């Protein structure tokens, strides 16, 4: 009798937390239409609470960091 073969998880191209959003859409499908900072902010918001062992507050703080960087860039402040 053969054992059940588990599907191989692709941790590089499709980690499980990439596919957990209720919409069924991968985050990259959306964020690739934004600039770097806005795309990263969306990514961190999108995936907050979906990564095992990562505090969702940390991801939301990262999103805030990228949003603040984009605000600074748009204001023309190059500090």
Against a cut of 0.85, is the pTM above it? no
pLDDT digits (tens, 9 = 90+) for 1-54: 567 776 777 878 777 777 788 888 888 999 999 999 999 999 999 988 887 788
Round to whole Å and give the CA distance between 44 and 66: 9
Q: Identify the pLDDT of residue 11.
A: 77
Q: Identify the pLDDT of residue 1.
A: 55
Nearest alpha-carbon partner for 40 in 31, 29, 52, 51:
31
């Amino acid at each position: 009798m053969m054992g059940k073969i588990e599907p191989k998880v692709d941790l590089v191209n499709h980690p499980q937390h990439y596919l957990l959003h209720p919409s069924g859409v991968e985050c990259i499908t959306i964020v690739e239409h934004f600039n770097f900072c806005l795309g990263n902010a969306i990514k961190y918001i999108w995936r907050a609470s979906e990564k095992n062992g990562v505090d969702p507050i940390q991801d939301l703080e990262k999103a805030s960091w990228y949003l603040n960087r984009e605000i600074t860039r748009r204001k023309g402040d190059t500090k």
